């Protein structure tokens, strides 16, 4: 999506922010340059607005620098390790596999640097100015920006888009020390796989990093307080993933509460947990705490701008991304709903369109996809069966296993299935839920179908290339009507 080096040919670096002046004015002020913020800034500029971005740390925010992109780079590398180790199954002879984690980290940083440099180029190409510093509201149309050098700059704006993102939650007894107790940022920067890793929190971040470290050589234990990993997700999908993780040697403890740490003489720790009324001590070299994220709103001075904030620090918005102050918009992790980069991006683009005068621009989360980049992957969009029933609908399900897919068999990726949920009365697609190979890519077709108001019959009638993984979507849609060709239909 973004490419380019941080320097233009025969020209100066474009990654440098503009210098501060005592007072600046702009039509659109964007606070935060993560996926939501930088896309909002570029779109507003494309729509003819004068735009200024304030970013405290790095262009690209958490996602590009210490989240989505670096984690997926390491996940990709770890998956390659597994593929090489099993190459002999295909008649391919390989030697012993080893991983130079320091070199792997250097490659990952190169990927990140290229992407963040690309944002700087796009800012310049679209005439978006940016300042590196920390913004605080002083009024409903003004902020004060403190630079790294301590210099203050006042900025007045007509409209503002707040996109300050979130940070990992710390829990009692597990203060982040960046040595033993680490957050996701620290985990993604490890230059060697710990011998023993305990992951507190069985959400998607903890599972993605935990599986990656297992594949790089760590012994991994996941501690989840709820009764299943990925709490709140379709249990059918979760069961398949749990079996796959356990098959790789990852220990999963559900219904377990982390109570504290006991330091050991050799520099390691023991994690004290309680499960089913009994205490257990888990030895660990590193402890990854991944139990959720907290919105970055408390130091913004939103009260001085008149913006209402919930007790949890979230900013309520309408379908135009407007806050309680119509000229101030909020997007991304600081708003209610899942903390997803693509949700933030859509909200940012919508806010920019509204500011530019598009009266039809509005947010609709009916087809908001979600993915977990474990192996197998999980991806969902729309309603589950249970959610459909809660809304008074009568759901009908078609389910097609990847074990019956020719493409999946030929790539040794047969774990999982596609589940299509449709309304019995209208045949309207309500949701699609996938666990299996390339689920994060396959879900895009399902999201488009739901967005366009397609029926299960529409999806079944669509000709799919053979042999490909998306054929599983077509077959699952046929299954809604009991017409699957390559799998046994349920009565």
For the stretch 286-295, pLDDT in tens is 999 999 999 9
Q: What is the pLDDT of residue 19?
A: 59
Q: What is the pLDDT of residue 9?
A: 32
Q: What dihedral angle (degrees, nearest 10) is formed by the CA atoms of 335, 340, 344, 349?
A: -140
- According to DSSP, the residues that pair with 251 across neighbouring strands are 221
Count of other CB atoms within 10 angstroms of residue 394: 11
Q: What is the pLDDT of residue 428?
A: 98
Whether 433 and 403 map to the same domain: the answer is: yes
Q: Specify the number of domains making up the chain.
A: 3
Count of other CB atoms within 10 angstroms of residue 188: 22
| Residues spanned by the domain of 269 | 181-291
Whether 242 and 382 map to the same domain: the answer is: no
Do 270 and 186 contact (CB within 8 A), yes or no? no
| Nearest of 287, 232, 247 to residue 264 by alpha carbon | 287
Euclidean distance between CA atoms 188 and 184, whole angstroms: 6
Q: What CATH number is attached to the domain comprising 401?
A: 3.30.390.30
Whether 164 and 215 map to the same domain: the answer is: no
User: Catalytic: which of 86, 433, 457, 466?
Assistant: 466
| Nearest of 398, 405, 474 to residue 430 by alpha carbon | 398
Whether 157 and 302 map to the same domain: the answer is: yes
* Rama region for 416: left / alpha / beta (φ>0; ψ in -120 to 50; rest): left
Q: How far from 465 is each of 401, 449, 469, CA to CA, in Å? A: 18, 17, 9
CA angle 371, 348, 69 (to 5 degrees): 40
What residues contact residue 136 under an 8 Å CB cut-off, 6+ apart? 143, 144, 145, 146, 299, 300, 301
Domain-located, residue 345: yes
Euclidean distance between CA atoms 478 and 484, whole angstroms: 5
Do 361 and 354 contact (CB within 8 A), yes or no? yes
For the stretch 19-46, pLDDT in tens is 556 789 999 999 999 999 999 999 999 9
Regions in the chain scoring below 70 on pLDDT: 1-21, 491
Domain-located, residue 419: yes
Domain-located, residue 301: yes
Q: What is the pLDDT of residue 23?
A: 85
Domain-located, residue 107: yes
CA angle 377, 459, 402 (to 5 degrees): 35
Q: What is the pLDDT of residue 95?
A: 85
User: For every residue of the chain, which 3-state class applies, written as one string?
Assistant: CCCCCCECCCCCECCCCCCCCCEEEEEEEEECCCHHHHHHHHHHHHCCCCEEEEECCCCCHHHHHHCHHHHHHHHHHHHHHHHHHCHHHHCCCCCCCCCCHHHHHHHHHHHHHHHHHHHHHHHHHCCCEEEECEEEEEECCEEEEECCCCCEEEEEEEEEEECCCEEECCECCECCCCCCEECHHHHHCCCCCCCEEEEECCCHHHHHHHHHHHHCCCEEEEEECCCCCCCCCCHHHHHHHHHHHHHCCCEEEECEEEEEEEECCCCCEEEEEEECCEEEEEEECEEEECCCEEECCCCCCHHHHCCCCCCCCCCCCCCCCECCCCCEEECHHHCCCCCCHHHHHHHHHHHHHHHCCCCCCCCCCCCCCEEECCCCEEEEEECCHHHHHHCCCCEEEEEEEHHHCHHHHHCCCCCCEEEEEEECCCCEEEEEEEEECCHHHHHHHHHHHHHCCCEHHHHHHCCCCCCCCCHHHHHHHHHHCCCCCCCCCCC
Whether 311 and 422 map to the same domain: the answer is: no
| Nearest of 277, 288, 304, 297 to residue 250 by alpha carbon | 288
Using only C-alpha atoms, what is the Rg of the chain? 24
Domain-located, residue 485: no
Cis peptide before 462 (omega within 30 of 0): no
Which of 291, 322, 339 corresponds to the end of one domain? 291
Q: Can you read off the two tokens belonging to residue 330?
A: 């909020």
Whether 53 and 139 map to the same domain: the answer is: yes
Which of 255, 270, 291 corresponds to the end of one domain? 291
Q: Can you read off the two tokens belonging to residue 441?
A: 């890519």
Q: What dihedral angle (degrees, nearest 10) is formed by the CA atoms of 410, 416, 420, 424?
A: 120
Do 414 and 408 contact (CB within 8 A), yes or no? yes
Whether 39 and 21 map to the same domain: the answer is: yes
How deeply is 308 buried, as exposed, middle or buried, from its count of CB atoms within 10 A (0-12, 13-18, 19+)? Answer: exposed
Do 162 and 334 contact (CB within 8 A), yes or no? yes
Which of 365, 397, 412 corresponds to the end of one domain? 365
Do 468 and 407 contact (CB within 8 A), yes or no? yes
466: annotated active-site residue: yes
CA angle 345, 347, 349 (to 5 degrees): 70
Whether 8 and 115 map to the same domain: the answer is: yes
Whether 123 and 16 map to the same domain: the answer is: yes
Domain-located, residue 174: no
C-alpha 362, offset from chain centre: 22
Whether 351 and 277 map to the same domain: the answer is: no
Whether 276 and 287 map to the same domain: the answer is: yes
Q: Can you read off the two tokens belonging to residue 472?
A: 């599983």
Whether 283 and 309 map to the same domain: the answer is: no
Domain-located, residue 468: yes
Q: What is the pLDDT of residue 491?
A: 65
Q: What CATH number is attached to the domain comprising 333?
A: 3.50.50.60
Whole-structure pTM over 0.85, yes or no? yes
| Nearest of 441, 372, 415 to residue 72 by alpha carbon | 372
Domain-located, residue 380: yes
Q: What is the pLDDT of residue 16?
A: 62
């Amino acid at each position: 999506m973004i490419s380019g080096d941080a320097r233009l040919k025969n020209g100066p670096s474009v990654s440098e922010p503009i210098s501060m002046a005592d007072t600046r004015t702009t039509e659109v002020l964007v606070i935060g340059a993560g996926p939501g913020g930088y896309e909002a800034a570029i779109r507003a500029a494309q729509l003819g607005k004068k735009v200024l971005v304030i970013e405290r740390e790095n262009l690209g925010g958490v996602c590009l620098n210490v989240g989505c992109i670096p984690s997926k780079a390491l996940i990709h590398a770890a998956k390659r390790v597994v593929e090489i180790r099993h190459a002999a199954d295909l008649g391919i002879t390989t030697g012993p596999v080893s991983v130079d984690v320091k070199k792997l980290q250097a490659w990952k940083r190169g990927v990140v640097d290229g992407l963040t440099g690309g944002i700087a180029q796009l800012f310049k190409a679209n005439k978006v100015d940016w300042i590196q510093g920390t913004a605080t509201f002083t009024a409903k149309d003004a902020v004060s920006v403190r630079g790294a050098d301590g210099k203050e700059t006042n900025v007045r704006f007509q409209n503002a888009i707040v996109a300050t993102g979130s940070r990992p939650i710390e829990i009692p007894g597990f203060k982040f020390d960046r040595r033993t107790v680490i957050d996701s940022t620290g985990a993604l920067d490890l230059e060697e796989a710990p011998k023993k890793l305990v992951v507190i929190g069985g959400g998607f971040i903890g599972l993605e990093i935990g599986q990656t470290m297992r594949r790089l050589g760590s012994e991994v234990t996941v501690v989840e307080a709820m009764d299943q990993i990925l709490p709140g997700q379709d249990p059918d999908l979760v069961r398949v993933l749990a079996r796959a993780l356990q098959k790789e040697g990852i220990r999963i403890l559900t219904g377990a509460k982390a109570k504290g740490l006991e330091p050991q003489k050799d520099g390691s720790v023991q994690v004290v947990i309680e499960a089913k009324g009994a205490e257990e001590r888990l030895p660990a070299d590193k402890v990854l705490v991944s139990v959720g994220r907290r919105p970055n709103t408390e130091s913004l001075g939103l009260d001085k701008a008149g913006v209402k904030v919930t007790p949890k620090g979230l900013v309520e918005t309408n379908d135009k991304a407007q806050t309680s102050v119509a000229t101030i918009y909020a997007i991304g992790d600081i708003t209610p709903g899942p903390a997803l980069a693509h949700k933030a991006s859509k909200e940012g683009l919508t806010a920019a369109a509204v500011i530019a005068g598009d009266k039809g621009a509005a947010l609709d989360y009916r087809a908001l996809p979600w993915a977990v980049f474990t192996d197998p992957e999980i991806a969902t969009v729309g309603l589950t069966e249970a959610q459909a029933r809660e809304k008074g609908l009568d759901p009908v399900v078609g389910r097609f296993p990847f074990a019956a897919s020719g493409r999946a068999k030929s790539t040794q990726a047969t774990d999982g299935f596609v589940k299509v949920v449709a309304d019995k009365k209208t045949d309207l697609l309500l949701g699609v839920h996938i666990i299996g190979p390339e689920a994060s890519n396959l879900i895009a077709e399902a999201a488009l179908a739901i967005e366009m108001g397609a029926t299960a019959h529409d999806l079944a009638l669509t000709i799919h290339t053979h042999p490909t993984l998306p054929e599983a979507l077509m077959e699952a849609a046929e299954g809604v009507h009991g017409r699957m060709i390559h799998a046994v239909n349920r009565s």
